[in-house]
Structure 1
Amino acid sequence: MHDNRTQQVEEQMLVRKAQQGDAQIFSLLVNKYQRRLNHFLHRFTHDEQITLDLVQETFLKAYKALPQFRTDSQFYTWLCCIGMNTAKSMAAISGREPQMITEIVDDDGEQIDVLEYLSDYHTPEGQLLNRELIDAVDEAIDNLPVSLRQPIILSEVNGLTYEEIAHVIGCPVGTVRSRIARAREILSVQIKTRFERE
């Protein structure tokens, strides 16, 4: 906890210096978050060149908007928000989310490890089932409406809090919570039904 707090204070100091016009300090922030932002946006675009363009445009917009940034907020969350808005304006977000989610919550609130559906992960048969499982999760996520797909990816894959997700996609925290719950419910039903049937 102390380390996280220390890192947050250090980041706030860097951002304040960048806000005062220190371009070299802003370059340090770019270097710190460029790879992470690239990884995040690529999950939505599935195109390396488009992602690189988006990352560059995001940092340009962030630099211009630095005076408006409040240092009590998370800088990375702010970058995600700019990146998502930029992607939407460029119509760069594709309809597929290939990231695998291995744990879901069923209707009773119990966490289910979907890998438990595999008979033996390390055998050839198990590897085949694993591929089928990944495909099933991909398909289930693909079938979610965008309003549910975005928050579940931001939560389960990127590890953002409900408050951060609300900031990124621009809706109340309560809406984020209900959408994630609904997405988990749908994924749970689809995955359990498919593998219990087989």
Structure 2
Amino acid sequence: MKKILLMILVLAIVGAGCSKSSPEKSNENIEEQSPEDIVTEENTETVGEVEEEFDIAVGKESPDFTLKNLDGEEVSLSDYRGKIVLINFWATWCTWCDKEMPDLQKLDDENDDLVVLAVNVMEKQDVVKEYIDNGKYDFEVVLDEDGEITKTYLVSGFPTSYFVDEEGILLGGVPGAMTYEQMTSVLESIREEE
């Protein structure tokens, strides 16, 4: 799917991140990742399959989902057709998620054609709400209470981000934390392909 698949995602598999089994796991070199460290179209064919009704693959329609936000309202990925969506899977206990949050807020604030959709994984609403309120974050946060959407998107550590274009096509994913510069670089690559 054009050179965007060459320019986007996955930013080096060396990404920093947390896993539930080892919350302190990290990589101090995330600043060294660059768009040149990105997986090419040849090796991003099918990311994998989850259950029969879901097929997650770069260049195909991103699996839609509906989850409740912190106000108890249902939010669907498809609600954001017409905008680029950065889906970010995260948890409050994740050190790298915490470091990435201010950059997600800045990216969301500065780009009218982008939506940050933060999917919290399997934490209680009051814990998530307190974290978001304390951080003064106002991007959309939804709760994957049973972890099913996280499984659909094959997330194995936090944070993990996916980029979806205006037509709902999955462009790729980034395991681990991104810097603001990396986020904007990916976003610019997406815009150049439009």
TM-score normalised according to structure 1 size: 0.25
Choose 1 or 2 for highest CA Rg: 1
Higher helix share: 1
* Higher strand content, 1 or 2: 2
What TM-score do the two structures reach when normalised by structure 2? 0.25
Q: Higher RCO, 1 or 2 (CA under 8 Å, sep at least 6)?
A: 2
